[in-house]
A = this chain, B = another copy of it.
Amino acid sequence: MPDVKHFDPDATLETVVRLFWRQGVASTGIQDIVNATGLNRSSLYATFGGKMQLYHTALERYADSRSRPVLDRLAEDERGLPAVADFFTGLIETRCSGEYAQWGCMVSNAHAGAENVDPAIRALLDRQHKRLRDALHAALLNAQAHGQLAPGADPAATAEVLALLAHGVNLRSRAGADAGQLRQTVATALHAISCPAA
């Protein structure tokens, strides 16, 4: 019978996610990954394949373990606009303070890099953008049902606006944008789509 792995692939992948998230795939070498994870080149290639395959796996892990829970919570929060506001508050908190401050969003970052020409990566970016938009859409439908939305507002189109706004927050936060200003900007946007009478 064969030998078993002497390391935890899951923990390794989490380390790799952070490297690619912070530095991007083009600026991260295999040597960086070897140094950060402590495991050998052979084990890396045997377990995850080449660099781009590893990046794809890491990006998928990011989307599933970081984005998805937040988006699911947003979609299932039935309060309407307060749910959207909380989503953005949490987003700005994550982007501007703590361990991941000024790292931006790994998915947003991938949009701007040369890796987006890879069809598999681009499909992942489209899927993730759709998930973001759909979660916002669900929250806005609740907002409309509660009469929180401005009359005549289209929840689907507005969800797309807020999705692009989130991308903007991700980008600017990576360059060190002020959290307070981002919060005020989001508040302004939400005020613009909310019902004047409410």
Give the B-binding residues of A (Cβ under 8 A): 23-24, 26-27, 104, 108-114, 116, 122, 125-126, 129, 150, 153-154, 157-158, 160-161, 163-169, 171-172, 174-176, 181, 184-185, 187-189, 192-193
- The docked-state distance in angstroms from the alpha carbon of A27 to that of B24 is 11
Given contacts A24-B26, A166-B168, A175-B126, contact A161 B192 (CB under 8 A): yes
Q: Which partner residue on chain B sits nearest A105 by CB separation?
A: B112
Q: Is the interface of A mostly helix, strand, loop or mixed?
A: helix
Q: Is the CB of B171 within 8 A of A157?
A: no
- Choice from B27, B113, B160, B185 contacting A164 with Cβ under 8 Å: B185
- Choice from B104, B172, B174, B188 contacting A158 with Cβ under 8 Å: B188
Q: Is the CB of B114 within 8 A of A112?
A: no
> 16 A–B contact pairs at CB < 8 A?
A23-B114, A104-B112, A108-B112, A108-B171, A109-B112, A111-B112, A116-B174, A154-B188, A157-B188, A158-B192, A160-B188, A164-B169, A164-B171, A165-B168, A166-B168, A167-B167
